[in-house]
Chain A
């Protein structure tokens, strides 16, 4: 028996229940909120065992014999020391022994810090490199011709690069000279930086609103097209 329509009905009821808070706080909303929280927590616990602890630690520690086409794996007993180290994190709840929790936290911090050296350069290196662009054109042509000559900086390119450079400098000035500056040039640059930041935040806010609307549209699509039109009315 196909339960897809029943499953869709439950999902539609959950959607309506969660949206009902827009009218006012109510028990129907609370019920579905708790159902969602319970399901998400339960699912996370199962995945924690199946995808993380069982395959990543337990089975590697004990090993496995060949079966069902899978090869045998030798057990790696030193993995057993990971259990007490992990359990030390829970001593944070005990006043007398909570110092032990600093050991696993220290290990994690050390690993993370070590990674960050290379991560910083991988992340910022290309961005820094890309911000160094030519601002002097080497041709009198304004726009790109039909065939772009490699290495040519057209006037339009130079202007674009100049805007990018001015943005970088003014925004950096805004953050570096956050105290009361006497120089009029610095003050003007800093103010320009603030304005450009505001424009940037406006663009991000616009994207955020657009995304939220899309999520609403998706839910409406699910209710009216997937459930009502295609599911109940069998229309294409």
Chain B
């Protein structure tokens, strides 16, 4: 009986509100993919947190020592890997030694080590120094209690490394404290900066407990609103957030700050100072590669919101 009754054709309003999900996902995949094949440099205005991040990193004395707390894994590779790569390029070009550790995830140290290996190989191809594990950086691995670990780092950084073994390539395990990275290090204040690359709540753990070393964060896009208040209050010396932050850093690495020339980036805060970049070197990475695609996907989102609301408006008008 019901078969005899033909279903009424959908109105435009109903069609707009009932687009099949696989179709929307399909469009999204296409829109996210096609721009990746085109290398287009979008116009950009670097924001103050990124400028501060770059300026403070560039002001670190060549050959000094820092700590990198890497708390990201492949689940946020899209944002965190680009951040880590940009940071490593800056540190390696300034010959800065670093201690690597993680308080966020057991997978994080290995993911960070893989990234270090990739970046040092790329830098070596362009005449850069090969960063050797144990000699130029030392990996302390994973610490399960972030709270206790950061308090220990703040109070006695050597006690944190005591008993920890590093596993450099082509050699047996070595005491982390024997590494040249720890030479002359008595307290955490001997490190010039504490960098946190994170996609989890370890940002707060560190902020609450580390008082004897300046800090800069590299966080995922979703964490930017929260961390901006820490940057504004001066708790962070600089902040790099999401793909926008990475794109800023990649631009800054190309032209520096307050240097005359094409694509000049100026900053009132550093007026009278000229912070150099590395023109001609490989400065672009995931930030530049993803920025165009991100704009396209966000445009698609806006269109989808307009289409959905238009459908709702039309169906309400029809009902009235």
Contact = CB atoms under 8 A, between A and B. Distances in A.
Interface of A: 22-23, 40, 43-44, 47-48, 50-52, 55-56, 59-60, 68-71, 73, 111-112, 115, 118-120, 122-123, 126-127, 129-130, 144, 147-148, 200, 203-204, 207-211, 213-221, 224-225, 229
A22 B25 contact: yes
Given A111-B148, A213-B297, 8 more contacts: A44-B106, A55-B165, A70-B175, A118-B209, A122-B208, A130-B232, A217-B294, A225-B36
Interface in B125-152: 141-144, 147-148, 151
A144 B271 CA distance: 13
A175 B289 CA distance: 43
A40 B107 contact: yes
B258 interface: no
B141 A47 contact: yes
8 A-B pairs with the lowest CB-CB distances in the bound complex, closest first: A218-B78, A130-B233, A119-B208, A211-B221, A47-B106, A51-B141, A214-B78, A215-B78
B106 A56 contact: no
A118 B154 CA distance: 13
A203 B223 CA distance: 11
B220 interface: yes
Interface size class of B (residues with CB under 8 A): 35 or more
B272 to A, nearest CB: 10
Contacts of B143: 51-52
Interface in B220-273: 220-226, 229-230, 232-235, 242-243, 268, 271
B18 to A, nearest CB: 17
A206 to B, nearest CB: 9
Contacts of B230: 126-127
Contacts of B293: 217, 220-221
Interface of B: 21-22, 25, 28-29, 32-33, 36-37, 75-79, 81, 106-107, 109, 141-144, 147-148, 151, 162-165, 172-175, 178, 204, 207-209, 211, 220-226, 229-230, 232-235, 242-243, 268, 271, 286, 289-290, 293-294, 297-298, 301
A111 B25 CA distance: 48
14 contacts: A22-B22, A47-B106, A47-B141, A47-B142, A51-B106, A55-B164, A56-B163, A59-B163, A70-B175, A115-B148, A126-B234, A211-B78, A213-B294, A221-B36
A56 B32 CA distance: 45
Q: Which of A73, A147, A210, A225 has the most CB of B within 10 A?
A: A210
Given A111-B148, A144-B268, A211-B221, A220 B32 contact: yes
Contacts of B75: 215
B7 to A, nearest CB: 23
Contact of A119 (B172, B209, B268): B209
A203 B225 contact: yes
A200 to B, nearest CB: 7
A123 B204 CA distance: 8
B268 to A, nearest CB: 7
A221 B290 contact: yes
Contacts of A126: 230, 233-235
B290 A218 contact: yes
B156 to A, nearest CB: 15
